[in-house]
Amino acid sequence: MPNLAHLLPLPGPVWGPYPLRGSEDQAPAWRGLHGRTARSRCRSGAQAAMARAQAFAAMPAPQRQAVLSSLRGTLRRTGLQPDTMATALGVTAACAVDAVGLRPRQTQLMAAWVLLDNRMGEMATGEGKTLAIALAAAAAGLAGMPVHVVTANDYLAGRDARQMAPLFAALGLRVASMAGVQGDTARRAVYHHDIVYATAKDLAFDFLRDRQSLGARHPHEQLAQSLGTGSAPAPLLRGLCMALLDEADSILLDEAELPLILSRAAPHAARRAFLWQALALARRLVQGRDYRLLPVERVAHLTPAGEEQLAQWAAPLAGPWLRARYRREAVVLALAALHLFRRNTHYLVRDGSIELIDEVTGRVAPGRVWSRGLHTLVALKEGLSPPAETETVAQTTYQRFFQRYWRLCGISGTLREARAELRQVYGSQVVRIPLHQPDRRRQLPLRSFADLDALFDAVVIRVATLQAAGRPVLVGTDNVAASLQLSGKLQQAGIAHQVLNALNDAAEAAIVAQAGHQGRVTVATRMAGRGTDIALDAPALAAGGLHVISCQHNPSRRLDRQLAGRAARHGDPGSCEHWICAQPEATGTDNDAAPGPPDAMVSGAGLQDRIAHGRQLWMQWQEEQRRRRVRHHLLEQDLQWERRLAFAGRIV
């Protein structure tokens, strides 16, 4: 296989018609430059790119075309050598000024250099990640690589593709977005563009569909055998050559805790009746006597008394009820559906169906369903018609899927906490990109409150004071239920505000667009418009900028930083503070089982606030470790599944 450090994976005779890192191919090695050394090299590269951008901008149009044509050939022959990277970024930077009216800053060129160098860049929110990603994608596209720009959701995929389309067109590149595209023919046509903006879910499931339709061990082997005969359908993708991840931590870590399962309808009336009976029996069990709940793990356990009671009730029933393991698993799952999965926290009921809420982003996760019958049980609990039963056709994980790309890079504002895992799983080094202007954010001390009512009462008072001063305020809450509770208190106080949660996610862009205006108050769940900028108007800037109040019990310090990063972007003034509840069970989050401080704790207690802060950090560390173990277990399961398929001679 070619030297991956410089030669680029392209569909063709060398890499095959479907470039893909297989299970036997060596994982990308971590090139362990010291962080300062890597950052220094990126800065030098960015300075060279800026000099070449100025030289390219001064050229007449015919000479520009000649330089562009020569650059394409050089990139294809030599790959991404430092000299060609500087030229490519300089050309794309100069075209960005004319095409989209944006003049890349040195920090943005540094970020683009990091991406082209196959690394991860930590770039603070508001520093211009969208343009940095576009510059790197354009430079890679000039080399002929099919480039996938991976975004957090369809809205961002469509927005960024439209916004950057003039830049790509000026370079002779074709760009498209996968947002809203349906049908194999239309999707295949989109993937034949030079640069494709899509969500990770779209890419991963289309890869699974390709893997199902191509029967050889590697897709390019099947293609080589069938191109002349037309016996196999054309794949959707053109291989996994290069992926540029926007909000890389969200995709590679937060969303990587669930397996990706490609399924098809397989109606089983008997299975549905069995689950209905399990739910009915679970309602009759008594907590404490018959079962115990573990809210953090979101599982239930039957006690010996509960096992005996269930055996008595199941004795007159037939079929699977006579098998102790089957009935135990079904009833335990039903108990979890009844008591541990909450409406407006873990899911919504909308248009007669269950819609899952992504607990990291706070957004509805369209198309996602719980497995093992849990989705059916929750629907039955809510009195809804359960969806059709499904069976698994193919599966993978985000970890294994993104390991298959020959070139993988990404950018986010919160990566340093996860740098060890990114290095271990993906072979990626994290490079921090400096701010282009000094940070003016003020961080206020953490405060703790005895219960959620006391916390929200204090929020109302703080919001009223800030609004009277003309400052916009963003309040982050844990879930839909908490956002509605706070909204009710603000209404009672006569404070005008907007609520952004999964119930009105269609209005996200409009709400975020107004959130930086003078005196505007926005209550948001964890979605908080990540990926979109809260632009401040002049009166808001004069009043002191956006103030963020986090009332979230986030499972990770990265998520704390994400919300705080909404304030004081672009060197603007701003401030943030974190308020927590001493009784997490009152908030309806997953920290119910954790021991809390004494009920007497109130805000402003000094030492008690510091104790609460330490407890919060400890709980976050524990949760981060637990989630890391979950991701590692999923990856190990996926690798074992692949090895079994490889032994059977099927595609891996």
Q: Which of 143-157, 254-268, 492-506 has the highest mean pLDDT?
A: 143-157
Alpha carbons 282 and 645: distance in angstroms, whole number? 38
Instruction: Decide if pLDDT at 460 tops 60.
Output: yes
* pLDDT of 7 above 80: no
Cα(398)–Cα(121) distance, rounded to whole angstroms?
19
pLDDT at 602: 39
Q: What is the pLDDT of residue 603?
A: 43
Structure tokens at 579: 């308020």
User: DSSP character for 60?
Assistant: -
- At residue 303 the predicted structure's pLDDT band, cuts being 50, 70 and 90, is very high
Interatomic CA distance for residues 486 and 508, integer angstroms = 18
Judged against a pLDDT cut of 50, whether residue 364 lies above it is answered with yes
pLDDT in the model for residue 596 = 41
Output DSSP code: residue 29: P
As a whole number of angstroms, the distance between CA 122 and CA 120 comes to: 7
* Mean pLDDT score across all residues of the chain: 85
Contact by Cβ (8 Å): 602, 451: no
Mean per-residue pLDDT, 82-89? 95
pLDDT value, residue 231: 57
Of residues 498 and 602, more confidently modeled: 498
User: pLDDT category, 23, cuts 50, 70, 90?
Assistant: low
pLDDT-derived band at 462, boundaries 50, 70, 90? very high
pLDDT band at 16 (very low <50, low <70, confident <90, very high): confident
Q: What is the pLDDT of residue 25?
A: 59
Name the residue with higher pLDDT: 317 or 304: 304
Per residue in 41-61, pLDDT (tens digit) is: 899 999 999 999 999 999 999
Task: State residue 33's pLDDT score.
Answer: 58
pLDDT tens-digit map of 101-145:
999 999 999 999 999 999 999 999 889 999 999 999 999 999 999
Q: What is the Cα–Cα distance from 551 to 352, expressed in whole angstroms?
A: 31
Domain 267-388, CATH: 3.90.1440.10
Q: What is the pLDDT of residue 633?
A: 84
Q: Is the pLDDT of residue 592 over 60?
A: no
Mean pLDDT of 478-504: 92
| Strand 521-524, strand 498-500: pairing | parallel
Rounded-to-integer distance, Cα 600 and Cα 539, Å: 41
More confident residue, 476 or 507: 476
- pLDDT value at 597 more than 50: no
Say how far apart CA 311 and CA 291 lie, in whole Å: 14
* pLDDT value, residue 297: 78
**Tens of pLDDT, residues 309-363:** 999 998 888 788 888 998 999 999 999 999 999 998 889 998 889 998 877 667 7
Cβ atoms within 10 A of the Cβ of 337, count? 25
Q: What pLDDT, on a 0 to 100 scale, did the predictor assign at position 647?
A: 52
Top pLDDT among 249 and 648 is at 249
CA distances from 264 to 209, 212, 393 (A): 12, 13, 7
Predicted local distance difference test score (pLDDT) of residue 256: 85
Q: How much of the chain exceeds pLDDT 90, in percent?
A: 54
Q: Which residues fall within 8 angstroms of residue 517, CB to CB, at 6 or more apart?
A: 472, 536, 537, 539, 540
Judged by average pLDDT, the poorest of 13-27, 85-99, 194-208, 619-633 is 13-27
Give CATH for domain 35-260+397-432: 3.40.50.300
Residue 521 buriedness (CB in 10 A; 0-12 / 13-18 / 19+):
buried
**Sign, CA torsion 366/178/5/51:** negative
What is the structure's pLDDT at 230? 53
Q: Rounded distance, CA 362 to CA 529, Å?
A: 10
pLDDT above 90 (res 392):
no
| SS3 of residue 293 by DSSP | strand
End-to-end CA distance of the chain: 18
Collapsed DSSP state (helix, strand, coil) of residue 438: coil
Tell me the mean pLDDT in the region 76-103.
94
Query: Which residues, 6 or more positions from 621, have their beta carbon under 8 angstroms from its beta carbon?
Result: none
User: Cα separation of 336 and 357, whole Å?
Assistant: 17
Task: Check: CB of residue 78 under 8 Å from CB of residue 84.
Answer: yes
Q: What band does 589 get if pLDDT is binned at 50, 70 and 90? A: very low
Which of 24-28, 260-264, 401-405, 542-546 has the lowest average pLDDT? 24-28
User: ∠ CA 81-409-552 to the nearest 5 degrees?
Assistant: 150
What is the rounded average pLDDT of the residues 210-216? 74
Per the CB < 8 A criterion, the answer to whether 435 and 127 are in contact is: yes
> What is the per-residue pLDDT across 150-202, written as a single tens digit (0 to 9) for each?
998 888 899 999 999 999 999 999 999 999 899 999 999 999 999 999 999 99
Between residues 570 and 35, the one the model is more confident about: 570
What region, left, alpha or beta, does residue 298 occupy, with left being phi > 0 and alpha being psi -120 to 50 degrees?
A: left
How do residues 561-583 score in pLDDT, each as one tens digit? Answer: 888 888 998 889 999 999 998 66
Q: Please tell me the least confidently modeled range out of 80-94, 248-262, 631-645.
A: 631-645
What pLDDT band is residue 388 in, cutting at 50, 70 and 90?
confident
C-alpha dihedral sign at 37, 43, 49, 55: negative
Q: Where are the domains of the chain?
A: 35-260+397-432, 267-388, 441-620
Read off the pLDDT band of 224 (50, 70, 90).
very low
Q: Which of 114-118, 237-241, 622-626 has the weakest average pLDDT?
A: 622-626
Helix (H/G/I), strand (E/B), else coil: 335 = helix
Q: Is the pLDDT of residue 415 over 70?
A: yes
β-strand 407-412 against 242-246: which pairing, if any? parallel
Arch. (CATH architecture) of 441-620: 3-Layer(aba) Sandwich (3.40)
Least confident of 86-90, 396-400, 402-406: 396-400
Tokens for 555, please give them: 């499972």
Binned at pLDDT 50, 70 and 90, residue 382 comes out as very high
Tell me: pLDDT of 216 over 80. no
Per CATH, 35-260+397-432 and 441-620 having the same topology is answered: yes
Question: CA–CA distance from 522 to each of 235, 465, 473, 547 (Å)?
Answer: 45, 15, 6, 11
Contact 281, 275 (CB under 8 A): no
Band (pLDDT 50/70/90 cuts) for residue 31 is low
Amino acid at 92: T
